[in-house]
Structure 1
């Protein structure tokens, strides 16, 4: 059984990798960090589709938080002022706004600083795609 939360991100995305590296350097979350491409997703209880779609925070008991709420959990784990910010991100209406901002960034991450074509969501998961 895991004793630490696991942060799962897209290791093929330059923007995601840079963001996680900055978080590790400046925020110091208390978790293990792994790219989904190197994670045992089945053991973590998540699908590749979900891991491609959003940042994931997986608790030692297997509860999965995605997107902005994964960011909130990351911040909460760091303690101090970061934890205050994480707590605020969990409160409505900030939670709803954070979700919208997260989706906007995630859906356009290939256009963000450090982003490349590899950062783009799979075609079926892009905004406006049929069947998503």
Structure 2
């Protein structure tokens, strides 16, 4: 069992990488951070398909949270005011709103600042 959570992101996506770098600069991260392309996904208990689809938070006990709830866990672990934001993101109805906002951004991340065509979530991975 790991002693620290692991944040798994898409290292090929400039927007995702920039977002993670922002978090590393401005939050007190209490986790390992790794692009899915260099992670042992099997050991983490996640699939490549899921890692391509969303940000992942893998707790030391193996519990996996994705998308907005991965962001909430990241913020909870960062302490200070960030933890309050993380706690709010985990509570309904903000949880539902956060999920919608996260999916909208993730599904259009190639259009976000710093995004490139390589950032696009594969069409077959998008819901609906």
Equivalent residues in 2 for 1:101-116, closer than 5 Å:
101-116=101-116
- After TM superposition, the runs of 4+ consecutive aligned structure 1 residues lying more than 3 A away are none
Q: Which runs of 5+ in 1 are unaligned?
A: none
Q: TM-score, normalised by structure 1?
A: 0.94
* Superposed displacement of residue 126, structure 1: 3.6
User: Considering only aligned residues, what root-mean-square deviation do their CA atoms show, in Å?
Assistant: 0.9
The match for 2:50 is 50
1:118 aligns with 2:126: no
Partners of 2:35 and 2:99 lie apart in 1 by 22
Equivalent residues in 2 for 1:53-92, closer than 5 Å:
53-92=53-92
Whether the 8 Å contact between 2:53 and 2:126 is mirrored in structure 1 is no
* Superposed displacement of residue 24, structure 1: 0.7
Q: Over residues 26-53 of structure 1, what are the superposed CA-to-partner deviations in whole Å (9 max), with x where a residue is unaligned?
A: 0122000000000000000000000000
* Superposed displacement of residue 123, structure 1: 2.6
* Superposed displacement of residue 127, structure 1: 5.6
Whether the 8 Å contact between 1:107 and 1:127 is mirrored in structure 2 is no
Q: TM-score, normalised by structure 2?
A: 0.97
Secondary structure of 1:28's partner? coil
Q: Which runs of 5+ in 2 are unaligned?
A: none
